[in-house]
């Protein structure tokens, strides 16, 4: 799903490909460098960096879920390189038959060096539009301290609907996460984003 260049960067939004594995693994591994510089980094990490095999298993599950129509994934490319990904997936593996199967859980990561340039919002918008075919509601967890990300989600239409106290334990410190939700049945792309995502109608 290629789109026109944005004014700042030539951004292409597309579906997940099998060859995205190495860039998505490296992107996740890079968070382990980042969290050393920024202990408040707003992503929940595994205590031990996952092995290549674990990463491959995760990617393979995600890829399969996309093929089966159980996950929606949008990848952002800049200059022919994948620089970010958003996924909206069922609440747990094999959740397709559950009474909660109308709920999708959103996860997003933009590579360092490509943040603050509209990549995240463009990807999330596209993913929400696609997710309407599969889910009725979307939820995400965001660190209470991640004010920039929270502001972005709010601009896109998410609202804070709950709080997980002490959900993350990092370096002996407990961090709260906020639950943000969006009802896809009534959601409309906010006016400031309408027509801004690459490939969206003018």
Ligand X SMILES: CC(C)(COP(=O)(O)OP(=O)(O)OC[C@H]1O[C@@H](n2cnc3c(N)ncnc32)[C@H](O)[C@@H]1OP(=O)(O)O)[C@@H](O)C(=O)NCCC(=O)NCCS
Residues at the site binding ligand X, with contacts judged by CB under 6 A = 42-43, 108-110, 115-121, 140, 142, 146, 148-149, 151-152
Looking at beta carbons only, is 134 or 139 nearer to ligand X? Answer: 139
Shortest distance in whole angstroms from residue 21 CB to ligand X: 19
Shortest distance in whole angstroms from residue 68 CB to ligand X: 25
- Which single residue brings its beta carbon nearest to ligand X? 120
In 44-129, where do the E strands start and end?
A: 71-78, 81-90, 103-110
Looking at beta carbons only, is 69 or 166 nearer to ligand X? Answer: 166
Tokens standing for 89?
């997936």
Shortest distance in whole angstroms from residue 58 CB to ligand X: 17
Looking at beta carbons only, is 64 or 161 nearer to ligand X? Answer: 161
Shortest distance in whole angstroms from residue 120 CB to ligand X: 2
Shortest distance in whole angstroms from residue 41 CB to ligand X: 7
Q: How many residues appear in the chain?
A: 202
> How would DSSP label each residue in 21-63?
HHHHHHHHHHHHHHHHH-TT-SS---SSPPPHHHHHHHHHHHH
Residue 39 near residue 170 (C-beta atoms within 8 A): yes
Looking at beta carbons only, is 119 or 131 nearer to ligand X? Answer: 119
Looking at beta carbons only, is 114 or 134 nearer to ligand X? Answer: 114
CA distances from 99 to 55, 87, 137, 148 (A): 29, 21, 13, 33
What whole-number distance in Å separates Cα of residue 88 and Cα of residue 78? 21
């Amino acid at each position: 799903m290629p789109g026109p260049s944005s004014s700042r960067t030539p951004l292409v939004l597309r579906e997940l490909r099998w060859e995205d594995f190495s860039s998505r693994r490296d992107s996740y591994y890079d968070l382990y460098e980042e969290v050393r510089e920024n202990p408040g980094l707003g992503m929940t990490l595994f205590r031990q960096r996952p092995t290549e095999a674990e990463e491959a298993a995760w990617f393979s599950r995600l890829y399969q879920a996309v093929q089966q129509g159980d996950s929606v994934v949008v990848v952002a490319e800049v200059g022919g390189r994948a620089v970010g990904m958003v996924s909206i997936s069922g609440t747990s593996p094999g959740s397709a038959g559950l009474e909660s199967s109308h709920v999708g859980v959103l996860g997003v990561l933009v590579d360092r060096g490509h943040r603050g340039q509209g990549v995240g919002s463009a990807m999330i918008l596209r993913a929400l539009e696609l997710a309407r075919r599969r889910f009725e509601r979307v939820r995400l967890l965001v660190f209470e301290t991640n004010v920039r990300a929270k502001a972005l989600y709010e601009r896109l239409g998410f609202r804070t609907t709950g709080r997980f106290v002490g959900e993350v334990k990092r370096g002996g410190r407990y961090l709260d996460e906020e639950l943000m939700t969006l009802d896809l049945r009534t959601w409309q792309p906010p006016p400031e984003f309408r027509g801004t995502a690459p490939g969206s109608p003018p």
